[in-house]
Amino acid sequence: MSNPKLEVLTPQNSQLIVIDHQPQMAFGVQSIDRQTLKNNVVGLAKAAKVFNIPTTITTVETESFSGNTYPELLDVFPGHQILERTSMNSWDDQKVRDALKANGRKKVIVAGLWTEVCNTTFALCAMLEGDYEIYMVSDASGGTTKEAHDMAMLRMVQAGVVPVTWQQVLLEWQRDWAHRDTYNDVMKIVTEHSGAYGMGVDYAYTMVHKAPARAQGTHEVLAPVPAR
């Protein structure tokens, strides 16, 4: 019997769901630096856009509690529908089920808050009742404590969820640097969101390959003058 989890993620076989990346939910996150969390989920969203990955954005109690989805995230998908819910478990909302089904892909990549509640309940139900394969983006998700996040990830992995990180997903979609149609866009995401890796790309481009600096505009460099 073939094991679908041995199949790598491709732009053709996967979809993305972003769950409750809203400020009040982020305020409760203690398992990861919140700015890093936002950086990672926005990087993941940009990757999904580059590779035309069907993306579902869902929110909970926006007006009464959680606040609006990060503007930086929404700006990646202008005009995108936001699926509002009352349930902590996204699977309990029919709009979410319909959106996933309409995308027609069984590999569902998940980035959400909080790991131990919204992510876990959705993952378990989507696998049990929807026969989906769940890929949980650990560093684009967050829990109320590190232990809560870690134990939720362990529980999900024991149930069959595949743990991944956002940059892993990006590079798995790219797969081959010979895919020039997405190369430049991927490098742009890397330089903006991938920390030391992105800094290394900037360095290689400018110092080794003598490309112009990525900064906008021009900047005059004054030569050293020893103090007298």
The tokens of 36 are what? 């890093």
118 is catalytic: yes
The tokens of 223 are what? 């030569």
Alpha helix segments (H runs only) across 28-178: 34-50, 71-74, 94-103, 120-130, 146-159, 166-174
Cβ neighbors of 189 (< 8 A, separation 6 or more) are 43, 46, 47, 50, 170
Tell me the three state secondary structure of residue 15. strand
Q: Which of 72, 50, 78, 83 is nearest to 171 (CA)?
A: 50
Cα–Cα dist 202/82, whole Å:
35
Return the C-alpha torsion angle 214, 220, 226, 228, nearest 10: -150
Secondary structure letter of residue 79 according to DSSP: T
Cα–Cα dist 27/49, whole Å:
27
Cβ neighbours around 190 below 10 Å, total: 22
Catalytic-labelled residue, pool 60, 110, 117, 118: 118
Q: Which residues are catalytic?
A: 118
